[in-house]
Structure 1
């Protein structure tokens, strides 16, 4: 297990952060996770649409 002394410093002498993230690898993501993500965005868009029609247009969408 690494201790704080073993890890590279994050804050440089110039007072700026110098942390580097690992590369993101999505190649092992299952199909079900992508489908769930798609449903998440569809639901988010539906909530936004309902908010927009109710409060901006003052005519709420009945199907939502």
Structure 2
């Protein structure tokens, strides 16, 4: 996976999975925690996306040497 595909995949993960996860989880958390839960899910998915991008970059650099 090159860096462009990694960026697109990371954006898709955060853009699509975050709202779905929040909507599903809203049933199980108190209403006053919805905002915190939403930010936490978005941050977690962003970290996963950044990790995926870094992994793709390192693999690309390692395979070219």
TM-score, with structure 1 as normaliser: 0.42
Task: Work out which of the two has the higher radius of gyration on C-alpha atoms and give 1 or 2.
Answer: 1
TM-score, normalised via structure 2 length:
0.42
